[in-house]
Amino acid sequence: MNEKQKSKKSDVMLKFFLNPEIGIMIPILLVCVITTILKPNFLTWSYISSILAGSVFIGAATLGECLIIMSGEIDLSVGMNGCFAGIMMATAASEWKLPLVPCILVCLLTGAAVGLLNGFCVCHLGLSSWITTLATQFICQGLAVTVSQGAPISIMSLNTGAFIRAKPLGLSWLFFIFIALIVLLDILIRRTRYGFFLRSVGGNQDASVMAGLNARRIKLTAFVLAGLFAAVSGMFDTLNAGAMNAAFGGGREFRAIICCAVGGISMAGGAGSAFGVALGVLLFHTLWYCLRILDVNTNLQLVLIGLILVLSVIMDTQRKRIEARKMV
């Protein structure tokens, strides 16, 4: 093998390592193989479909979180924003007696309104996204408990039971809606000017502003979109359970951040893809599901999940270093 062939092979291996969408498949396969060894009947469609169908709730919130992180900010309110939006949807059904479509619109508008509030405080008032979204997290939680009075709110009047019970290919219709959202978000990120501007602002805001981009508007739009995705997460919870509880969505924001980090979204902003995030959600939910069916201690589960977050950030840092050396 001559030097040219060696160099070409090295470039292929390097490209493979630098692609998080490909690299994340390895731990997913390892988790499945280890679980299958310990529980031989794991690789059946019953278990696999349960993992896929169950990933949509955290997955929808994660799609919104990835936009915020790519813009160089953070959103700690996606979990409780979705919860409050779901509470408003259930309230519209049970108290206001609205049909399904207006109830969904109430849910989405609630999520978008919270996202708009976050974006206004961060982009126009100059507040930290950490502090702002932490505050709106508590506001949404308080409003959810107040509106629901701490009790579940049923949506039986919407007659969505048949839709939820339907299992095409052993999955749910919510899963196929989630897949459609992934495709649409990937098109937005990779194929539109807004996606390019978002990554530019997240990668280097000062340079983007000097190039003539309106960073405030771009980030504000990202916060609104994140609010919409959070609302979709709450809508999924409400439809799936047939009711909404103020306890839903707690801690979801941190799991969404973990899925983004694992899925190749740079924690420094400016890089990532919707498909990578989807694989991050799949890895996180597969690990969580496998640990449960293997009866692993709950505290140990938290340790392993924390380690995965640390490893994903280390891999992201190493990828950046390799890319920087390659450009020199």
- Residue spans of the domains in the chain: they are 55-249+268-274
Residue 16 pLDDT exceeds 80: no
Q: Which helix (DSSP H) or strand (DSSP E) does residue 144 occupy?
A: helix 129-148
Query: For residue 150, what pLDDT is reported?
Result: 85
Give the residue, 325 or 237, on which the prediction is more confident.
Answer: 237
pLDDT average, residue stretch 198-219: 90
Query: For residue 137, what pLDDT is reported?
Result: 96
**213 Rama class: left (phi>0) / alpha (psi -120 to 50) / beta:** beta
Interval 109-128: pLDDT, tens: 999 999 999 999 999 999 99
Tokens of 304: 């392993």
> Do 86 and 235 contact (CB within 8 A), yes or no?
yes
44 CA to centre of own chain? 26
Give the residue, 105 or 170, on which the prediction is more confident.
Answer: 105
| Residue 28 pLDDT class (50, 70, 90 cuts) | confident
Query: For residue 297, what pLDDT is reported?
Result: 82
Residue 265 pLDDT exceeds 90: no
Helix runs in the chain, H state only? 3-18, 20-23, 25-38, 45-54, 56-70, 78-94, 100-123, 129-148, 161-165, 173-191, 193-203, 205-210, 215-241, 252-262, 274-293, 298-327
Beta bridge partners, 32, equal none
CA nearest 28: which of 278, 251, 293?
278
Query: What pTM, to 2 d.p., does this model score?
Result: 0.89
What does pLDDT average to over the chain? 87
Interval 78-98: pLDDT, tens: 999 999 999 999 999 999 999
- Write out the DSSP string of 181-224: HHHHHHHHHHHSHHHHHHHHHHH-HHHHHHTT--HHHHHHHHHH
Most confident range, picked from 118-122, 210-214, 254-258: 118-122
* CA R_g for the chain: 21
- Taking the C-alpha atoms of residue 79 and residue 252, their distance in angstroms, rounded to an integer, is 5
> Do 269 and 198 contact (CB within 8 A), yes or no?
no
Query: For residue 118, what pLDDT is reported?
Result: 97
Give the max Cα distance, the chain.
Answer: 75
| Residue 325 pLDDT class (50, 70, 90 cuts) | low
Residue 21 pLDDT exceeds 80: no
CA nearest 67: which of 268, 205, 269?
269
CA nearest 133: which of 198, 173, 64, 81?
81
- Taking the C-alpha atoms of residue 86 and residue 91, their distance in angstroms, rounded to an integer, is 8
Tokens of 72: 């160089």
Cα separations (Å) of 292 from 73, 171, 174, 240, 295? Answer: 33, 20, 23, 21, 5
- Taking the C-alpha atoms of residue 166 and residue 143, their distance in angstroms, rounded to an integer, is 33
| Residue 296 pLDDT class (50, 70, 90 cuts) | confident
Asked which of 33-42, 99-108, 287-296, 298-307 is least confident by mean pLDDT, the reply is 298-307
> Do 146 and 80 contact (CB within 8 A), yes or no?
no
Using a pLDDT cut of 70, give the percent of the chain over it: 88
- Taking the C-alpha atoms of residue 61 and residue 226, their distance in angstroms, rounded to an integer, is 8
pLDDT average, residue stretch 291-320: 75
Nearest 10 degrees: Cα torsion 117, 118, 123, 124: 30
